[in-house]
Amino acid sequence: MTRAVVPLVLFLALAGLFWFVLGKMNEGEYNPRDVPTQFIGRSAPEFSLPDLLDPTQTVRPSDMAGKVWLLNVWGTWCPECWKEHEYLVYLARREGVPIVGINWRDDAADAKAMIERLGNPFLKIAFDPSSNAAIDWGVYGAPETFLIDAGGVVREKHTGAITPQVWKEKFSRYFAAARSAS
């Protein structure tokens, strides 16, 4: 009797586990490919790159000192970036969120065309065709979005498109706090 029950119980336990994990994956709460970032609680790595729209200007994270801001890594080759762009424009224009972009491994003309077509949510766009800043920030896919606080410390990171839900869960509280403090 027990000989038959043991494998059955093991099977049901495994099936239950897979069901649970698949459910979490479908809800987007668990991503097995996600690589947890090393940067939470660390100060933001510095870089110095030309601005996509005005190459005479340089973009540096330290320019944003004293502000709570987002760093968004994107490229025209990345479908999720097209998907989230409209919401980024909304955040920048309606919510007044300061966003700095890193245009990663991209063609400058393509990137400019996309910004012209969909609007520009970015204060500045660092142009990084050779992945220098991207590697330094531990970026492995696009879009990736980091939140940096007024002290220049990385507080939050999201891999994948920013949606209203992601915004509410991960990011909005930092800006609510910044607003009430000022």
Partner 1 sequence: MTSVKSMFFVAALLLAVSASARVEVHNFEGPEQEARYNKLIAELRCLVCQNQNLADSNAELAVDLRRKTYEMVKQDKSEGEIVDYMVDRYGEFVLYRPRLTNSTLLLWAGPFIILVIGISLLIRTVRRRRAGQDNNIDDASIRNAAALLDTDRDKRNA
Which of 69, 122, 127, 137 contacts partner 1 by CB under 8 A? 137
- Report the nearest approach of partner 1 to the CB of residue 16 (Å): 22
Site for partner 1 in 22-41 (CB under 8 A): 33, 35-38
- Report the nearest approach of partner 1 to the CB of residue 131 (Å): 4
User: Which one, 47 or 167, has the nearer CB to partner 1?
Assistant: 47
By CB under 8 A, residue 99 contacts partner 1: no
Which distant-in-sequence residues (6+ apart) come within 8 Å of 82 by Cβ? 76, 114, 118
Residue 69, Cβ neighbours under 10 Å: how many? 25
Q: What's the 3-state SS for 131-153?
A: CHHHHHCCCCCCCEEEEECCCCE
Percentages of the chain per state (helix, strand, coil), in multiples of 5: 45, 20, 35
- Report the nearest approach of partner 1 to the CB of residue 182 (Å): 33
What is each CA distance from 91 to 70, 142, 160, 167, 182, in whole angstroms? 11, 19, 16, 9, 19
By CB under 8 A, residue 131 contacts partner 1: yes
Which of 21, 28, 130, 164 contacts partner 1 by CB under 8 A? 130
By CB under 8 A, residue 134 contacts partner 1: yes
> What is the enclosing helix (H) or strand (E) of 11?
helix 2-26
User: Which one, 67 or 105, has the nearer CB to partner 1?
Assistant: 105
Binding stretches for partner 1 (CB under 8 A): 33, 35-38, 105, 130-131, 134-138, 140-141
